[in-house]
Amino acid sequence: MPYLIDGHNLIACLPDISLDDPNDEAKLVTKLKGFAARTRKKCTVIFDGGLPGGFSSMSTKSVTVVFAASERANADSLIKRRVERTDDASKWTVVSSDHEIRSFARSHRMKQMTSIQFARLLQAPEPERETHGEEIHPTVTKEEIDEFYQAFGGEPDG
């Protein structure tokens, strides 16, 4: 399930990023890349203004970054346009604090969540990985070292 995200709405809900920070968009994109890698979900984040309008070089395979050109559109209008043009709307979730945007998404059969709800997902700790009985800090015995040198040649130093 991919996410369509109102970027500045989400930043306003994160405790560790400020809208006053000149790098706020880049910091959010970094968080979204980590989220996408952890969850294997794709994200499209749309920002008002910021960099010149259009597709951003911050984009990756899993996180698409778009800046609305201030003179032609804002993030809300771009989100609505994408909602209208999406063929598989029921597979998407729109993330915004804007009630109008969430209602618009709902009317087009898209799931929706508030920026606060999504911020909790971003802040969630990464699940611990099971080791399946593997040693975390393996030790190598003298016999194993000798066997290595026998197999691959050479002599141990020292």
pLDDT score of 3: 97
Among the listed residues 99, 71, 127, 111, the one whose alpha carbon sits nearest the alpha carbon of residue 9 = 99
pLDDT score of 11: 97
Question: Which residue reads 């990985």 in tokens?
Answer: 129
pLDDT score of 126: 63
Residues 49, 67, 79, CA angle at the centre, nearest 5°?
Answer: 105
Q: Are 47 and 68 in contact (CB under 8 A)?
A: yes
Task: Provide the strand spans (E) within 7-59.
Answer: 43-48, 54-55
Q: Are 25 and 59 in contact (CB under 8 A)?
A: no
Domain ranges in the chain are 3-125
Sequence-distant (≥ 6) Cβ neighbours of residue 96 within 8 angstroms: 5, 6, 9, 79, 102, 105, 112, 114, 115
pLDDT score of 84: 94
* Mean pLDDT, the chain cut into blocks of 10 residues (158 residues total): 95 95 94 94 88 70 88 85 91 96 95 96 72 64 76 67
pLDDT score of 152: 74
Domain spanning 3-125 has what CATH number?
3.40.50
pLDDT score of 69: 77
Please report which helix (H) or strand (E) contains residue 5, including its range.
Answer: strand 3-6
Please report which helix (H) or strand (E) contains residue 34, including its range.
Answer: helix 24-39
CA-CA distance, 79 to 45, in Å (whole number)?
Answer: 9
